[in-house]
Structure 1
Amino acid sequence: MSEPLPPRHVRLRTDRLVLRRFTPADLPAVTALCGDPEVMRYIDDGRPVPPDRVADELLPSLLRAYADLPDGLGCWALEAGGRFLGWAALHPPSSVGLEPERRPDHLELGYRLRPAARGLGYATEAATALVGAAFGERPGTERVVATTMTVNTASRRVLERAGLRHVRTFSVDWPDPIPGSEHGDVVYALTRAEWAGGTRRPAADTR
């Protein structure tokens, strides 16, 4: 039986998920996630992240962010029944194409999910919970934004189910384009007013 997580390590709980802080012990899980070609198909250069880069750069940056970012922001491990499913993130806007949204009252949503965990509603559940936390816990948040490739229809459906809507398509002259990049990327967004006026899903238990 696994030891219960310290309360400060749990970001929030939903009906099926626990979103918790990463720890150094998560290195094998993060390496497998980011080393999966299917996971990385629409991310960055479309290539799996080498294990040494995960160990030396990626995971340490995720861990530092808990201290560097305001409380409640960062990248969180997704678990269901103790099984690692991937991650979900909420942080200040950083993606290419979000220049108009790089404001202190905007937050960016993101996630990565293992292929075996897809199609079961986990991504939507996690994204919806973080959108609720963005507006429900942080009075200064006025907009939640997200980006993905135009051809990434599965990710676009997740964003739509979480309440975001397509607001813009943009193109970037990538130095190493991947298949589908010729169709551009999309920005999705949800404002506080839209969130408050819509039909909310059941609230998650936060921290």
Structure 2
Amino acid sequence: MLRVMSQKILHTERLRLVPLSAEHLEHQLALDSDPEVMRHLGGARSPEQVQAALRGNLADAERVPGLGYWAGFVQEDFAGYWLLRPPGSADEEPTPGHAELGCKILRRHWRQGLGSEGSRELLRHGFEDLGLTRISAMAAAANTASQATLTALGLRYVREFEANAEWFPPGADLCTAEFEIKQGDWRALQGV
């Protein structure tokens, strides 16, 4: 059963995950304007596109209590953002007990295990705090690094599909891989 709670600050050994707010615009600009960070997400965004995306993320976080987007900090240094959001588009009714996991990391923080560390905490939060039954994640089919991270976290490959063309600029590679983990499988990995 899904327990209702507002989005809270989460902690790992190295990260402080703070609910995303309008105050984090400069950080999202740094992430989304970097062509390498956005390589598998449709390419770098303009400041106007980033502002619109932030507004959309904040609205999306209001759809289901406890789910949302988090800005991640190593001490006071912004590292990236993580999400555990209702799956589907904002105009769809959220699927009870289900959330979608993801993250974007600034290049200077790549290959330090922060993506896995923050995602592991969101999996814990989703299954333990919120009582979710299923968490999925999407990665571009060409993004083998993200797929390896998801697999290492215990998610299993489900399928490959074409992403909604409305979410990406013309010419973007829409081939996407879906992964998932169910609460029972996650508990078994934790030895619970």
Same fold (TM over 0.5): yes
Amino acid at match of 1:58: A
Residue aligning to 1:60: 55
Residue aligning to 1:195: 186
Q: CA RMSD in A?
A: 2.4
- Deviation at 1:60? 2.4
- Deviation at 1:174? 4.1
| TM-score under structure 1 length normalisation | 0.78
Change (3 A) 1:167 1:30: same
Secondary structure of 2:190 counterpart: coil
| CA offset digits 1:90-119 (Å, max 9, x no partner) | 011127xxx9xx732211001111111110
Moved more, 86-95 or 22-31: 22-31
Secondary structure of 2:179 counterpart: strand
Amino acid at match of 1:51: P
CA separation in 2, counterparts of 1:172 and 1:79? 30
- Deviation at 1:23? 3.1
CA separation in 2, counterparts of 1:146 and 1:194? 15
CA separation in 1, counterparts of 2:50 and 2:58? 12
CA separation in 2, counterparts of 1:36 and 1:58? 15
Change (3 A) 1:144 1:82: same
Larger Rg: 1
* Count of equivalent residues: 181
Secondary structure of 1:197 counterpart: helix
- Correspondence 1:22-171 to 2 at 5 A: 22-43=20-41, 46-55=42-51, 57-66=52-61, 68-94=62-88, 103-139=95-131, 141-171=132-162
- Deviation at 1:170? 1.9
Identity score, percent? 30
Task: In structure 1, list runs of 5 or more residues that go unmatched.
Answer: 1-7, 201-207
Change (3 A) 1:105 1:29: same
| CA offset digits 1:156-199 (Å, max 9, x no partner) | 111112221111122358482335x4xx3211000111111123
Residue aligning to 2:3: none
- Deviation at 1:132? 0.8
| CA offset digits 1:139-166 (Å, max 9, x no partner) | 2x11100111111011111111222111
Secondary structure of 1:129 counterpart: helix
Residue aligning to 1:15: 13
- Deviation at 1:121? 0.1
